[in-house]
Amino acid sequence: MKDNSHISNLKASANQPYHHGNLRLALLNASVDIIRAQGVAGLSLRKLADLVGVSRTAPYHHFKDKDALLAAVAGQGFEELSGLLSQAVNDDDAPLNTKLEQAVMGYLDFATQHPTQYELMFGQALWQDTQHESFQRTAKDCFRQYVKLFELFAQQGLIKSQEPPLRLAQMTWASLHGLARLASDGIFANPADIHDIAKTAVRHLEIILQK
C-alpha cells in the first residue's frame, strides 16, 4: 500500500493562497511527490493544480499537457543528478579515487531514493519522442559530467586500458543503471547490498584505471 502521508501534508500547506513566485518549480516538486506516492498514472494537471492551490488552468501556462509535464519532471531529475555528479567531479580537494566513489554512490543514492522519477527519466516514451529534445539535452549534459571524471583520469595518465574515457564512462554508467533497476524492482531489497556491490565495482574499476 502506497504511503500518501507526504501528499496530505503538501495538500495541507497548499490550501493556503499561493503567494511565492516560482509556480513552475512548485508544480514540478508537487509532481515528484505525486508520482512517488501514486505513480505516473496518478498524476494529472487538474490534481496538480488542486494540490498546489492554484486555478486548474494555471499549470497550462507552464506545461501544455501531461506529457510535457512528465518531460519536465524527468529533466528536473537529470538536473539534480547532474548537480550531484558535478559536485563530486569538481571537488578540487578530493583525490580522483574519492571523486569516483562519490559519483558512483551519489548516482545510486539518487536512483534508490527517487525510484519513480528515475524510471521516468530513463523511460522509452520520453527518449523516443522528438518533441522532448530539451529534456534529452539535459540528460546528455548530465552524462557529460560523468564522462569528465574519466577524462580527468586520462589527463593524469591513470588509465591502463586502451579504451577512451567515453567508452569507460558508458560501460560503468550502464552497470550503475543495472544496479539501480535491480533495486527499483525489489531484487535487492536491502540498500546495503547495492552499496556493497557498488563499492566492489569501484575497487575493480580502480584496478583498470590506475597504473
Domain with CATH 1.10.357.10 in the chain: 66-210
What confidence tens digit (pLDDT) does each residue in 163-198 have? 899 999 999 999 999 988 888 887 876 777 888 888
35-50: average pLDDT: 90
pLDDT score, position 130: 74
pLDDT score, position 148: 95
Give the span between the Cα atoms of 90 and 92, in whole angstroms.
6
Q: What angle, 0 to 180 degrees and rounded to 10, lies between the N-to-C axes of helices 66-89 and 133-155? A: 10
Three-state DSSP state, 55: coil
pLDDT score, position 12: 39
Q: What dihedral do alpha carbons 78, 81, 83, 87 form, nearest 10°? A: -150
Residue-level length of the chain: 211
For the chain, what is the mean pLDDT? 85
Give the span between the Cα atoms of 123 and 148, in whole angstroms.
25
CA angle in degrees (0–180, nearest 5) for 90-170-146: 10
Class of domain 66-210 as given by CATH = mainly alpha
Higher local confidence (pLDDT), 149 or 18 = 149
Alpha-carbon distance values, 129 to 67, 136, 165, 177 (Å): 10, 10, 29, 21
Give the span between the Cα atoms of 127 and 139, in whole angstroms.
10
pTM: 0.83
Give the span between the Cα atoms of 124 and 141, in whole angstroms.
18
**Are 82 and 142 a contacting pair, CB within 8 Å?**
yes
What confidence tens digit (pLDDT) does each residue in 109-121 have? 999 889 899 999 9
